[in-house]
Structure 1
Amino acid sequence: MRIIDAHHHFWDIEANYLPWLADKPVNFRYGDYSAIKRNYLAGDYRKDASEFEVVGSVFIETEWNPQDPLGEVAWVNAVREREGLPSVMVAQAWLDRQDAQEVLEALGKTTFVRGIRHKPKSATSPVEVVMGAPGSMGDEAFRRGFAMLEPNGLSFDLQTPWWHLGEAADLAQAFLDTQIIINHTGLPSDRSPEGLDGWRAAMKRAAECPNIAVKISGLGQKGRPWTVQDNGQIILETIDIFGTDRCMFASNFPVDSLVAGFSTIFNGFGRAVADRPKSDQDKLFWANAARIYRIDVAKGD
């Protein structure tokens, strides 16, 4: 199976400072994450993905030391030159910080950074959402930084619970020339009928914006193994909501190794869309990622 993995990480926790892996454990959506508090490098990834023809990949920032966002860019560039992966990178940047302009301009001058990820402030439930809260997508400081993305040729990877996707739609409509990519399928962690109804409505609202795409990834549930039975319907609904041209499959490795092996996840994607035309499958597994993240598959970058 030919793939471009649209969302994965590498880290060397012996050489670099990643607070969430090095310091006191954070409240993590999969629960205990001690199993991934170890180095995870290109050789580990290739071993995990060995069943597949990986023709490209997208490295997503790893919550590296926030005082040194460009340090991760330099480290990833060295990995790319040595290992041939990743193809491109989504870097860390804090849109509401004083150094946003400096950091975004530096990222825009690289040859392999395609966008940034800044996790906006989020509420813990739909009823606690406060529009325009400091650090949220409606915050004026956040939007000032967001306005600098398009001039620097950068897209925006958005990781936020589904109950903030209305704010994402407002943001997308205000900045029509900036590509937004929703991470981890909008985080449908609440699989109750009410939770899925809320997730579905929020995804439909986001899909109204042509400049929003979605990565189908991060579908694990706390205390449960990853299965097609649990996740297949969400995969298919996401494709139906956004359309085949705006969805990408991704591993979220090594994080999702907490719930399944790499092969289980990608073969599960394959089973979920097995009845789709090959042209649609190609888009989902690699072609959309190549287009959205501007990866030249023939050259590998």
Structure 2
Amino acid sequence: MSTRGLHAPVRPEWLAQASETALEPEMAIVDCHHHLWDRPEGQRYLFLDLLEDMEAGHDVRATVYLQAKTMYRPDFPPHLQPVGEIEFANGAAAQAASGIYGRRYACAGIVGFADMMLGNRIEPILEALERAGGGRLRGIRNQTARHDDPAITSNPVPPPAGMVADPRFAEAGRLLPTYGLTLDVFCYHTQLDEIVVLADACPETTIVLNHCGCPLGMGPYKGKREEVFAAWSARMKQISERPNVRLKLGGLAMRVNGFDFHEGARPPSSSQLVDAWAPYMLHCIELFGPGRCMFESNFPVDKGMVDYVSLWNAYKRMTAGFADGERKALFHATAAATYRIDNALLGLA
């Protein structure tokens, strides 16, 4: 199934109309969530595309690559085919680490795919992924975002219902700390009860909830922001009471969230993004605290609605009143600690 239409398409000519310069360009950033891919529908975002965004004005010192079901090895048995994605991301990391491109460590951490529904039979796959990662494998993520309404989808093939709360999923999750790995999870706000079940079932596992818990804004949720916010907030409060959960702030420029910036004549300004997103992100920080939150770009998915400079400017604007230590946590320290990125690598030792 094609991925075309799931997300707003990236339009370079439209994005070129953005004219902001980076605010506080000296602030160190770890972009804790992005993808790389070269897909048959003409979607291409590879190392040099990422590097161009990293060098657009902000001090992005390192990034974390997230599972995107790309570059699988068709010559491998099915459960081991995701090794190809780790090899691919590790290749980009090796390019960045060469020093030819400056001190911008793309893919310093890699989050890959291993089928969590295998339960305790997942271990040989984790070992194969570790070997392919060259010391950079940091976590596992499966495709878990699902809604019964077929119009609400972020994946070409929606996952089965109830997957995150399945005992086999938790059984695999409890093995991850042995390998020093996190468990990244992307769910819609209607699935957040499953995150509570998972966190309780895997108390020693660091679970990283992606994209602010994804408050939906399309389909039956369109035009119901207050109602959705109330339901989302109640579930997020429950999750915040689980100390093993971390939270990524970003991903709200996906179509499923219902924001329509891609329909404007020009890309949104950082001030417009703050107006739209600050209620969600500031509430997340209030619930979880800066030490458990980290900003992400979710590029190139979110690039369909916003350019890289304006995105990070928005994050800087909405936290302008925070203490220095809190901002350091949000922009790099929480991500570095969660994904074991050495401060010496970041130039912060």
Q: TM-score, normalised by structure 1?
A: 0.84
Gaps of 5+ in 1: 14-20, 23-33, 126-132
Partners of 2:145 and 2:188 within 8 A in 1: no
Secondary structure of residue in 2 paired with 1:57: strand
- Match for residue 100 of structure 1? 122
Choose which of 101, 108, 126 in structure 2 pairs with 1:87: 108
Question: Matched residues in 1 for 2:161 and 2:275: separation?
Answer: 39
- Given residue 210 of structure 2, which amino acid in structure 1 is its aligned partner? N
The answer to which of 161-170 and 197-206 deviates more is 161-170
Partners of 1:249 and 1:284 within 8 A in 2: yes
- Match for residue 177 of structure 2? 150
Q: Percent identity, please.
A: 31
CA deviations over 1:59-113 (Å, ceiling 9, x no partner): 0011224941001111111221122321110011111148623212223454111
Q: 1:193 to 1:134 in 2, by over 3 A?
A: closer
Instruction: Say whether residues 1:258 and 2:285 are aligned partners.
Output: no
Choose which of 201, 209, 217 in structure 2 pairs with 1:182: 209
Instruction: Say whether residues 1:223 and 2:254 are aligned partners.
Output: no
Question: Matched residues in 1 for 2:162 and 2:83: separation?
Answer: 21
Question: Matched residues in 1 for 2:94 and 2:146: separation?
Answer: 36
Secondary structure of residue in 2 paired with 1:252: coil
- Match for residue 128 of structure 1? none
- Given residue 91 of structure 2, which amino acid in structure 1 is its aligned partner? A
Question: Matched residues in 2 for 1:203 and 1:211: separation?
Answer: 14
- Given residue 223 of structure 1, which amino acid in structure 2 is its aligned partner? D
Partners of 2:214 and 2:252 within 8 A in 1: yes
- Match for residue 28 of structure 1? none
Secondary structure of residue in 1 paired with 2:45: coil
Q: TM-score, normalised by structure 2?
A: 0.73
Choose which of 281, 296, 299 in structure 1 pairs with 2:342: 296
Runs of at least 4 residues off by over 6 Å? none
Question: Matched residues in 1 for 2:318 and 2:232: separation?
Answer: 20
- Match for residue 67 of structure 2? 61
Partners of 2:174 and 2:204 within 8 A in 1: no
Instruction: Say whether residues 1:115 and 2:120 are aligned partners.
Output: no
Deviation at 1:134, TM superposition (A): 5.9
- Match for residue 26 of structure 1? none
Secondary structure of residue in 2 paired with 1:3: strand
Question: Matched residues in 1 for 2:112 and 2:143: separation?
Answer: 12
Question: Matched residues in 2 for 1:185 and 1:93: separation?
Answer: 23
Q: 1:232 to 1:135 in 2, by over 3 A?
A: closer
Q: How is 1:157-176 mapped onto 2 (pairs within 5 angstroms)?
A: 157-176=184-203
Deviation at 1:289, TM superposition (A): 0.5
Q: How is 1:27-38 mapped onto 2 (pairs within 5 angstroms)?
A: 37-38=42-43
Question: Matched residues in 2 for 1:209 and 1:265: separation?
Answer: 29
Question: Matched residues in 2 for 1:121 and 1:38: separation?
Answer: 21
Q: 1:60 to 1:206 in 2, by over 3 A?
A: same
Question: Matched residues in 2 for 1:286 and 1:246: separation?
Answer: 11
- Given residue 95 of structure 1, which amino acid in structure 2 is its aligned partner? M
Deviation at 1:56, TM superposition (A): 1.1
- Given residue 111 of structure 2, which amino acid in structure 1 is its aligned partner? V
Secondary structure of residue in 2 paired with 1:298: helix
- Match for residue 16 of structure 1? none
Question: Matched residues in 1 for 2:230 and 2:162: separation?
Answer: 27
Instruction: Say whether residues 1:48 and 2:53 are aligned partners.
Output: yes
Deviation at 1:300, TM superposition (A): 4.8
Gaps of 5+ in 2: 1-26, 98-105, 150-159, 218-223, 263-267
Question: Matched residues in 2 for 1:93 and 1:247: separation?
Answer: 25
Instruction: Say whether residues 1:245 and 2:291 are aligned partners.
Output: yes
Partners of 1:96 and 1:135 within 8 A in 2: no
How much is the aligned-residue C-alpha RMSD, in angstroms?
Answer: 2.2
